[in-house]
Amino acid sequence: MRSLFIFIILMTGAQAAERLVIAHRGASGYLPEQSIAAISMAHAQGADLIEIDLVMTSDDRIVVLHDPYLNNLSSVPAVFSDHARKDGKYYVVDFTLEELRALELSERFNDEGASFPDRFPVHKSSFEIFTFEEAIELIEGLNKSTGKDIGLLVEIKLPEFHFENGKDIAYEALKVIKCYNYLKRSDNIVLQDFDFNSLKRIREVLFPAMDMELKLNQLLDGSDRYDWMRQPDGMAFLSNFVDGIGPHMGIVVDERSTKDDIIITPLVQMAHDAGLWVHVFTFRADEGMIPDYADDFEDLLDIFWNKAGIEGVITDFADRAIKFKDKNK
Ligand code: CA
């Protein structure tokens, strides 16, 4: 009886420790984020899920981009100098898809130069912006040609900003997803957003109206608009609408932690008590991106997987997380 009891505990432990590696914007540690090349490389690396972000164009197409503007990822000022708004930004929603196709997509940069100096060089080779439909077809095509079953984690960016610009991005994204026949919770796609109201609307209004039901993930960080979720009652309420949470690493392991004193916040336990998974962002191996409490990238993974007990890591370096996962089974 006792050994059965121990066996059940071990089984429960094994289940709780099921680990997912999620490639953040494709293999963005190695190639310009969300390019076809970066997504293909993440697929070849063998990530469990590939994360992409969606933004809308002026002609109601959905493109795979993180920022609502193009300034830090493309050659835009040289090509469309008249398209900037008063704040100096070139918003995707002011461009047609055809105009976006004329741009070169670049490794991310800022006023000082490359955002990640050791990554792929800025403005080199040739990459282009592509659509949500093309991303789905790319993953499905690679799944077919390789025999793998890699899923998509789709982030709907800034629903409120899109509404202000006359676009219902959540609805438009669901229409595309439905066209590709992703209709049920068992389908290999997860939708995520920082905007709780948008996720709630998807669950309560759009899913029933469109006869679909997919898995949803609530993103959150340390800002006070998420304070209510970071309480047991709030987390239980949240679990009525979503299947998991995607917290910033700083609210899972306290940033005041040191190597001798890793402070795990109650967030993961609260989420698990509410029946939610925890997929943490963003694990980066670049110099200067490892918190002081971890020795290196692998130690950071060890802390989050083995000490904090999370399920998924969202990382720019899926290859290294997979290697760590395989070695520490
Ligand atoms: Ca994202």
Task: Please report which residue ranges of 51-202 form alpha helices under DSSP H.
Answer: 76-79, 97-101, 132-146, 159-164, 169-179, 196-201
66 is an active site residue: yes
**Strand-strand pairing, 62-64 and 49-56:** antiparallel
Q: What's the mean pLDDT when you consider all of the chain?
A: 94
CA dist., res. 124 & res. 134, Å (int)? 23
Place of tokens 């004329």: 102
pLDDT in tens, 17-43: 579 999 999 999 999 999 999 999 999
Among 73-82, 176-185, 236-245, the least confident range? 73-82
Model pLDDT, residue 320: 98
Model pLDDT, residue 53: 98
Catalytic residue among 43, 66, 162, 279: 66
The token pair that represents 260 in the structure block: 């001798």
Model pLDDT, residue 16: 45
Model pLDDT, residue 14: 37
Nearest alpha carbon to residue 162 among 206, 128, 195, 209: 195
Model pLDDT, residue 281: 98
- Cα of 259 vs centre of ligand 1, distance in Å, is 29
- Cα of 157 vs centre of ligand 1, distance in Å, is 8
CA dist., res. 143 & res. 306, Å (int)? 30
Model pLDDT, residue 189: 98
- Cα of 9 vs centre of ligand 1, distance in Å, is 35
CATH of the domain at 75: 3.20.20.190
- Cα of 221 vs centre of ligand 1, distance in Å, is 13
Confidence tier at 1 by pLDDT (50, 70, 90): very low
- Cα of 5 vs centre of ligand 1, distance in Å, is 41
- Cα of 66 vs centre of ligand 1, distance in Å, is 6
Residue 302, pLDDT above cutoff 70: yes
pLDDT in tens, 255-296: 999 999 999 999 999 999 999 999 999 999 999 999 999 999
- Cα of 283 vs centre of ligand 1, distance in Å, is 13
- Cα of 192 vs centre of ligand 1, distance in Å, is 8
Model pLDDT, residue 260: 97
Catalytic residue among 24, 43, 162, 279: 24
* DSSP three-state, residue 192: strand
- Cα of 315 vs centre of ligand 1, distance in Å, is 11
CA dist., res. 14 & res. 232, Å (int)? 24
* DSSP three-state, residue 66: coil
Model pLDDT, residue 167: 98
pLDDT in tens, 126-166: 999 999 999 999 999 999 999 999 999 999 999 999 999 99
Model pLDDT, residue 81: 86
Residue 55, pLDDT above cutoff 90: yes
Confidence tier at 77 by pLDDT (50, 70, 90): confident
Place of tokens 């629903």: 159
Q: Structure pTM?
A: 0.94
Residue 247, domain extent: 3-327
Total domains, the chain: 1
- The 3-class SS string of 271-322 reads HHHCCCEEEEEEECCCCCCCCCCCCCHHHHHHHHHHHCCCCEEEECCHHHHH
23 burial (CB, 10 Å; 0-12 / 13-18 / 19+) is buried
Select the more confidently predicted residue: 60 or 76. 60
Q: Which residues surround ligand 1, an ion (CB under 5 A)?
A: 53, 155
- Cα of 249 vs centre of ligand 1, distance in Å, is 14
Task: Estimate to the nearest angstrom the gap between the alpha carbon of 111 and the chain centroid.
Answer: 25
pLDDT in tens, 79-126: 888 999 999 999 999 999 999 999 999 999 999 999 999 999 999 999
